[in-house]
Structure 1
Amino acid sequence: ETRYEKFLRQHVDYPRTAAPDTRTYCNQMMQRRGMTLPVCKFTNTFVHASAASITTICGPGGAPAGGNLRDSTASFALTTCRLQGGSQRPPCNYNGGTSTQRIRIACDGGLPVHYDRAI
């Protein structure tokens, strides 16, 4: 798995997977995308946009933010999943929140390789 492929697996869900609520969405997606073993990832954000539209941040759709970080000029629909309880040992239980915000990502070779944060 390349860094770009890992970014896609961990952060891109387009179109957004249907779920009755954000808690169910987060629990399903975190497990499906391999972020609950061997330990539960503490927090993760899914971007509900095509890989192509996110990749534009690495070019004309983004502005430099220091190092290899870039800030998107456009806003994106996001779902942020946070682990509930103190333990990172499975089974993992997540709660989620949705928002529409600009994002900061790291790029390498013109491709997104790391989700930094919403801005």
Structure 2
Amino acid sequence: MSQKENMASVCPTLFLIFIFGWAAVPVMSEINKSSNKDQYHKFLKQHVIKNMKTNGCDNAMKIFDRTPCKPINSFIVSEDINVIKDVCTTAGSTCSSELHISNNSFHVITCIHQGRSNSSPCTYKGQESTKKIIITCKGELPVHYAGGVAPHTSAEESV
């Protein structure tokens, strides 16, 4: 086979790879959006609650339904999920490419496992705090609660 014939057989193959590669870009983009939405809904289920008191940990932690008992989990208490979602865009500061810290403080309940046994039923004690939340964002959606920091206090307030 001559070099010209070889190129003639390779070019259509490369052309098809190029066309199918570009056609796959929107499909992969939709898959990433779907994955981000799934992670976002998991984040909401595991870390956001509309109304909760510190004595509500046993009930709130039932969503995990697992043995051994989950040692610790934090819930952001908010009736409006959009204020949490906005941390990824307008209501937060970027710490890294995906990590954002909220500009404002949130009411957070941290549930800590109390039982000696690590099997069901799991018992928890709640600790209440107000802190700026740190979340991982993908595609402008929160997908992971990374922690929180106490709001900055002045020297006068800390005395």
| Alignment partner of 1:98 out of 128, 135, 138 | 128
Question: Which is bigger in relative contact order (C-alpha 8 A, separation at least 6)?
Answer: 1
1:1-55 Cα distance to aligned partner (Å, 9 max, x none): 81111100011111x14x6xx23x0001111xx2132432111111112210000
Query: Which residue of 2 is the match for residue 9 of structure 1?
Result: 45
| Alignment partner of 1:48 out of 77, 84, 87 | 77
Cα distance in 2 for partners of 1:74, 1:13 equals: 18
The residue correspondences of 1:54-69 to structure 2 (distance < 5 A) are: 54-69=84-99
Deviation of 1:91 after TM superposition, in Å, equals 1.5
Contact 2:108–2:131 (8 Å) recurs in 1 = yes
% identical aligned pairs? 37
Larger radius of gyration: 2
Q: 1:85 and 1:68, CA in 2 relative to 1: closer, same or farther beyond 3 A? A: same
Letter in 1 for 2:87: I
Q: Which has the higher helix share?
A: 2
Mark the runs of 5 or more structure 2 residues left unpaired by the alignment. Answer: 1-36, 150-159
Which runs of at least 4 in structure 1 moved beyond 2 Å after TM superposition? Answer: 85-89
| Alignment partner of 1:112 out of 142, 154, 157 | 142
Mark the runs of 5 or more structure 1 residues left unpaired by the alignment. Answer: none
Q: TM-score, normalised by structure 2?
A: 0.65
DSSP 3-state at the match of 1:7: helix
Q: How many residues align?
A: 112
Letter in 1 for 2:39: R
